[in-house]
């Protein structure tokens, strides 16, 4: 692969996952689709994560070190700034790709050019790699959904929140070049913020196949786990995330996203879009309770 651009850049921000990172790396190296590079950013891990990463000597691995922990969004930026592939795949350092994940996704995107990103369904596993047994856990419901066009996705995000699993995505790198990277102000919702910005311009698709093993850590230690700390961060960050809807440029686009809204003659001018967005937000029990006053 020396001297040529890999088709896919697989990017892995890693932090304090010494028990899992080796399996995550191996799952990438075992892919049936082999035209990739693997960019790993160790984000200042304080355990033996780096030691585990260095056990691999594959020439496709690019290892970059942060001297201290800078957060997931910054680590993602470092990955993306060093990626040279036409497509970007994301893997968390505690998750596992099924062996045909990249093959299935690249085939989909290259035969469906109207889509710029493709996600997959997931299997839930516990810390030991066994199937996760608690079917009341929110992840059993959160990441299962139907496909929509980008306007319908924007409507769903506005009223119901995020349901896309970040480490399942394969996305055209040009999307990042066009709309930017993840918002580094956000600790809890950088992926959700990015999906909204993505759907303001591009269509996405969920492949109805389980191609990722998503690990649930004990005591809600996942970044998106149901802990008091993560819920507070989510509450605080939602208002920033929903500001993306102020980028809707025309009333015609607004009505494609919110087709049930009735407008009077004066409100059909684009200058009223921020007012209309605010009115929708504060009339929705879901949003008003989370955005607050």
Query: What tens digit of pLDDT does each residue of 229-247 get?
Result: 666 777 888 888 999 999 9
Can you give the pLDDT at residue 78?
A: 98
Please tell me the predicted confidence (pLDDT) of residue 121: 94
pLDDT of residue 146: 86
Average pLDDT value for residue range 131-154: 77
Q: How far apart are CA 205 and CA 114, in angstroms?
A: 10
Across 247-258, average pLDDT: 94
pLDDT digits 0-9 by tens, 115-124: 999 999 999 9
**Cβ(62)–Cβ(79) below 8 Å:** no
Q: What confidence tier does 84 reach under pLDDT thresholds 50, 70, 90?
A: very high
**Domain match, 113 and 40 both:** yes
Domain that holds residue 262: 248-291
Q: Which residue has the higher pLDDT, 135 or 224?
A: 135
| Residue 140 pLDDT greater than 60, yes or no | no
**Number of domains the chain contains:** 2
What integer is the mean pLDDT of 79-108? 98
Predicted confidence (pLDDT) at residue 219 exceeds the cutoff of 70: no
- pLDDT tens digits, one per residue of 124-137: 999 988 887 666 66
pLDDT of 137 reads: 60
Residues 65 and 135 in one domain: yes
Same domain, 210 and 261: no
Same domain, 140 and 231: yes
Pair (227, 260) in one structural domain: no
Residues 261 and 162 in one domain: no
Residue 70 inside a domain? The answer is: yes
Average pLDDT score, the chain = 89
Residue 103 lies in a domain: yes
If asked whether residues 102 and 32 sit together in one domain, one would say yes
Say if 2 falls within a structural domain.
no
Among 129-143, 170-184, 212-226, which range has the highest average pLDDT?
170-184
277 and 253 in contact (C-beta within 8 Å)?
A: no
Of 89, 18, 28, 82, residue with least CA distance to 54: 18
**36: in domain:** yes
Q: Is residue 3 part of a domain?
A: no
Establish if 1 belongs to a structural domain: no
pLDDT level of residue 144 (50, 70, 90 thresholds): low
Whole-model pTM: value is 0.90
In this structure, the answer to whether residues 261 and 145 fall within a common structural domain is no
Neighbours of 74 (CB within 10 A): 18
Q: Give the C-alpha separation, 66 to 135, whole Å.
A: 37
Residues 151 and 37 in one domain: yes
């Amino acid at each position: 692969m020396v001297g040529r651009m890999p088709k896919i850049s697989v990017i892995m921000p890693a932090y304090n996952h010494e028990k899992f990172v080796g399996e995550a790396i191996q799952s990438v190296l075992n892919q049936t689709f082999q035209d990739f590079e693997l960019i790993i950013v160790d984000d200042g891990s304080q355990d033996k994560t780096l030691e585990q990463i260095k056990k691999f000597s594959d020439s496709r691995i690019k290892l970059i070190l942060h001297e201290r922990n800078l957060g997931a969004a910054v680590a993602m930026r470092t990955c993306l700034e060093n990626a040279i592939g036409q497509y970007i795949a994301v893997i968390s350092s505690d998750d596992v790709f099924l062996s045909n994940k990249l093959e299935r996704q690249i085939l989909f995107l290259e035969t469906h050019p109207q889509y710029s990103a493709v996600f997959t369904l997931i299997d839930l596993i516990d810390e030991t790699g066994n199937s996760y047994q608690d079917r009341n856990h929110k992840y059993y419901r959160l990441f299962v959904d139907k496909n929509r066009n980008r306007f319908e996705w924007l409507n769903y995000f506005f009223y119901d929140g995020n349901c896309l699993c970040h480490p399942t995505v394969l996305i055209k790198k040009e999307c990042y070049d066009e709309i930017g990277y993840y918002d580094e102000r956000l600790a809890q919702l950088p992926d959700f913020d990015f999906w909204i910005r993505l759907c303001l311009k591009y269509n996405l698709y969920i492949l109805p196949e389980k191609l990722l093993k998503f690990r649930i850590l004990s005591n809600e230690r996942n970044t998106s786990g149901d802990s008091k700390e993560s819920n507070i961060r989510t509450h605080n960050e939602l208002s920033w995330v929903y500001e993306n809807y102020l980028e809707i440029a025309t009333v015609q686009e607004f009505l494609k996203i919110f087709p049930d809204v009735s407008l009077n003659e004066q409100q059909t001018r684009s200058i009223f879009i921020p007012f209309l967005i605010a009115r929708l937000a504060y009339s929705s029990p879901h949003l008003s309770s989370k955005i607050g006053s």
